[in-house]
Amino acid sequence: MVKISNVFDKIKKDEENKTPPSGQKNTFQSSVAQATKGKTLYFSHPQKEPHPLKGYFSNVLKLKAKEMEKTNQALPETETCYSMEKEDRICPVEELERLYEDILFIIKELLKEDTDYTSLETRTIMEKIGNIVDQLTIGNDDLLALALTKDSVDINYLLCHSVNTCIYSIDIGLGLGYNRSQLIELGASAFLHDIGMKQYLGLVNRNAVLTPEERNEIKEHTAIGRQILENINGLSESVINTVVYHHERIDGSGYPKGLQGESISEYAKIVGLVDMYTAMVHPRIYRHAYLATETAKEIMRNKNAFVYSLLRVLIERIGIFPPGSMVQLNTKETARVIKRNHKFSMSPLVQVISDADGKPLKENKVLNLADDLGIHIKGRLPIKT
Ligand SMILES: [Fe+2]
Ligand SMILES: [Fe+2]
């Protein structure tokens, strides 16, 4: 078997070494096919180095399973959810970073001007999104931390934005009890939601706020998205509709049609909400990132545009102390949130990174703030301190 990460390394090298003849379309799909010919794609889960939080995950999962048993809730229809035996499938951060890079590479290829969409197999995209779904389902919050901390400024903004919107949307879907195939479909919609922006990359990456005219012009990206996606074999109508309608708002203030309430699909409502959240918590060339709490407040100011129940899921799951965010403890230490606590959202698991005097910590100090330690979060800090 061949590791998917190696496959993509090979694709990258192939692409670097290859100069397509003039007039020839981008050969992304053929590169994938060539690199994987006769081989089974799989996502590697090295067993040698267990995740440092392995025991913690186990306890959380056991508690969750017991909780669900008590309330007679059906377990979600996912392959990996709450399965103790599959706990070893929690990937270490390096593996997740590679997954992130792989999917970033896919969107980069898709946004190229000369991409031949008719030759693209959706399997390549769905497999990667399936990997993300599986990691989030078994409670691997490191992926959410990546989605918060990956910098969009140095490279094409749309690349990270697409991947981050995908990751967060899947997490909201998990909060809504979606099954695996729904999560993959939602994730694919979110991943592709701004594909029509390929026409406007110059505007999107420019070091300036858009003028009202330019903002109006880029509204066309939803229709362009449909034109592009209709060329890709195997994409469901539901994915295409989500991409087309992700800027619709339930109060009718959105576009392209000014749809209201129930006439907007739930996927489109989720992607629209997460799109706004993701855009705000990440920096642009011309502005700093907003703190997660500032973003949540701003979204609440627009609450008529979004479904309240979805807003609640967003805020409960990623709106207060999302993994990857920086906090100050009452001990004056600085810490990074590394794992959420769904039962006590104000008391996540944190890793202390500097002491009360601001000196970087040499040892690995992880605190579960839900334990009775007399330690709590005093304030939020920007991600890069
Ligand atoms: Fe958009
Ligand atoms: Fe977007």
CA of 230 to the centre of ligand 1 (A): 17
234, burial (CB in 10 Å: exposed 0-12, middle 13-18, buried 19+): exposed
Question: How confident is the model over 70-90, as a mean pLDDT?
Answer: 46
Give dist(CA 189, CA 267) in Å, integer. Answer: 8
Q: Which two tokens stand for residue 285?
A: 């060339």
**What is the SS3 assignment for 199?**
helix
Report whether pLDDT(263) > 90: yes
pLDDT at 86: 52
Q: What is the band of 87 on the pLDDT scale with cuts at 50, 70, 90? A: low
> Which ligand is closest to the CA of 275, given by its number?
2
- The Cα–Cα gap between 173 and 66 comes to 22
Kindly state the average pLDDT of the residues 116-130: 87
The domain segmentation of the chain, as residue ranges, is: 2-7+29-41+93-319, 326-381
Tokens found for residue 227: 């034109």
Burial class (CB in 10 A: 0-12, 13-18, 19+), 383: buried
Tell me, in angstroms, the distance from the centre of ligand 1 to residue 178's CA: 23
256: cis peptide before it, omega within 30°? yes
What CATH number is given for 2-7+29-41+93-319 in this structure?
A: 1.10.3210.10
Distance from Cα 121 to the centre of ligand 2, integer Å: 23
Q: What is the mean pLDDT of residues 211-220?
A: 94
Cβ 181 vs Cβ 312: under 8 Å? no
> Which residue is listed with tokens 């890079």?
101
Q: What percent of the chain has pLDDT over 90?
A: 51
Distance 116 CA to ligand 2 centre (A): 23
User: What CA–CA distance (Å, rounded) separates 307 from 173?
Assistant: 14
Residue 357 vs residue 204, higher pLDDT:
357
Interval between CA 194 and ligand 2 midpoint (Å): 5
CB atoms within 10 A of CB 21: 5
Please give the span between the terminal C-alpha atoms of the chain, in angstroms, as a whole number: 42
Per-residue pLDDT of 136-165, as tens digits, reads 999 999 999 999 988 666 567 899 999 999
Query: Side chain identity at 57, as an amino acid letter?
Result: F
- Among residues 47, 46, 186, 41, the alpha carbon closest in space to that of 128 is found at 41
Token duo for residue 66? 């017991």
Ligand nearest to the CA of 169: 2
CA of 51 to the centre of ligand 1 (A): 36
pLDDT band of 233, cuts 50, 70, 90? confident
The confidence score (pLDDT) of residue 154 equals 58
Residue 164 CA: which ligand is closest? 2
Short-list 32, 10, 8, 183, CA closest to 99: 8
Task: Dihedral sign for Cα 41, 52, 325, 299, please.
Answer: positive
Distance CA 252, CA 337 (A): 37
Quote the ligand 1 centre to 36 CA distance (angstroms).
32
- Asked if residue 194 lies in contact with residue 161, where contact means CB atoms within 8 angstroms, the answer is yes
Q: Please give the distance, rounded to the nearest whole angstrom, from the Cα atom of residue 102 to the centre of ligand 1.
A: 22
pLDDT score, position 209: 86
308: tokens are 């309240």
CA of 195 to the centre of ligand 2 (A): 9
Residue 292 corresponds to which tokens in the numbers above? 């997660």
pLDDT, residue 238, reads 96
Closest-approaching ligand to the CA atom of 278: 2
> What pLDDT does 313 receive?
93
The order of strands in the sheet holding 360-368 is 360-368, 349-354, 334-339, 326-329, 377-381
What is the CA(83)–ligand 2 centre distance, in A? Answer: 34
Q: How far is Cα 192 from Cα 226, in angstroms, rounded to an integer?
A: 10
